């Protein structure tokens, strides 16, 4: 894919990153007002709302900073441990990046989504799954573009046509399944089959 990267594509990627970061930043306050009101969620469940003092005493920023450092360290260790394993198993970088790393790196989110789905809280489960993908696409990837400039290794947002098609097909299928607010085992089989087909295609395409 390197032969597709041109100076023009690098500049276009930076402009696109600015636009997506701005869109994500404007989207966050709206979602925070509509879905993060603890009183509204607790009132609907019949519980008692926590007091303001108890909420303010929570060391949110310290916990967030510690979690960020821990995640960064674990991610670094994961990348370094995956390189020799991928080489020994003759796995391509494309397959490792698109299939293996997302499964391992998002294991906690996947487990949380499954737990909420078992409890029949499908809104939360879908929000975890789709919200994570949205955050990666609209915030994490654009931020990495500018961080790569600071590190001296520009990261282009240039995708293989297969990657674009796979993302488009996945988005359409997920939309059709989630739009009615209901699901069943057969729709789950469709989603798993789509994931397996994309994974196999990536495996053989990158060989």
Asked if 138 and 26 count as a contact pair (C-beta separation under 8 A), the reply is no
Tens-binned pLDDT, residue by residue, of the chain (207 aa): 555 667 777 788 888 888 888 888 887 766 655 555 544 444 444 444 444 444 545 577 788 788 878 877 887 787 778 888 888 888 888 888 888 888 887 777 888 888 888 888 888 888 888 888 888 888 888 898 888 888 888 888 888 888 889 888 888 988 888 887 777 888 889 889 999 999 999 888 877
The answer as to whether 158 is a domain residue is yes
pTM of the model: 0.70
The number of folded domains in the chain is: 1
Q: What are phi and psi of 154, to 5 degrees?
A: -55, 130
- What SS3 class is residue 50? coil
Asked if 156 and 17 count as a contact pair (C-beta separation under 8 A), the reply is no
Task: Collect all residues with Cβ–Cβ distance below 8 Å to 53 and sequence separation of at least 6.
Answer: none
**Burial (0-12, 13-18, 19+ Cβ within 10 Å), 189:** exposed
Q: What does the pLDDT read at residue 200? A: 92
CA distance 4 to 160: 9
- What SS3 class is residue 194? helix
The answer as to whether 66 is a domain residue is no
- Token pair, residue 105, equals 């790196």
The answer as to whether 60 is a domain residue is no
Residue 125's H or E segment, with its range, is helix 122-135
Task: Collect all residues with Cβ–Cβ distance below 8 Å to 159 and sequence separation of at least 6.
Answer: 1, 167
Half-sphere exposure of 18 (CA within 13 A, CB side): 5
Output 99-103 pairs: Cβ under 8 A, ≥24 positions apart.
99/199, 99/202, 99/203
Asked if 113 and 129 count as a contact pair (C-beta separation under 8 A), the reply is yes
Domain with 147 in it = 2-35+90-205
The answer as to whether 56 is a domain residue is no
The answer as to whether 122 is a domain residue is yes
The answer as to whether 142 is a domain residue is yes
The answer as to whether 109 is a domain residue is yes
The answer as to whether 64 is a domain residue is no
Task: Collect all residues with Cβ–Cβ distance below 8 Å to 9 and sequence separation of at least 6.
Answer: 156, 157, 158
């Amino acid at each position: 894919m390197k032969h597709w990267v041109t100076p023009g594509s690098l500049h276009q990627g930076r402009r696109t990153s600015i636009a997506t970061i701005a869109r994500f930043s404007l989207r966050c306050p709206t979602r925070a007002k509509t879905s993060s009101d603890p009183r509204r969620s607790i009132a609907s469940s019949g519980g008692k709302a926590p007091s303001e003092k108890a909420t303010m005493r929570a060391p949110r920023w310290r916990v967030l900073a510690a979690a960020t450092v821990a995640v960064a360290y674990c991610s670094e260790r994961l990348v370094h441990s995956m390189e020799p394993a991928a080489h020994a198993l003759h796995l391509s970088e494309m397959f490792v990046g698109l299939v293996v790393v997302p499964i391992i790196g998002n294991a906690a989110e996947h487990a949380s989504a499954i737990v909420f789905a078992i409890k029949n809280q499908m809104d939360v489960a879908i929000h975890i799954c789709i919200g994570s993908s949205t955050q990666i696409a609209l915030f994490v990837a654009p931020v990495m573009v500018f961080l790569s400039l600071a590190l001296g290794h520009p990261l282009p947002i240039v995708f293989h046509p297969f990657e674009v098609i796979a993302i488009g097909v996945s988005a359409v299928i997920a939309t059709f399944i989630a739009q009615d607010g209901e699901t069943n085992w057969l729709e789950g089989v469709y989603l798993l089959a789509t994931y397996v087909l994309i994974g196999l295609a990536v495996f053989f395409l990158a060989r």
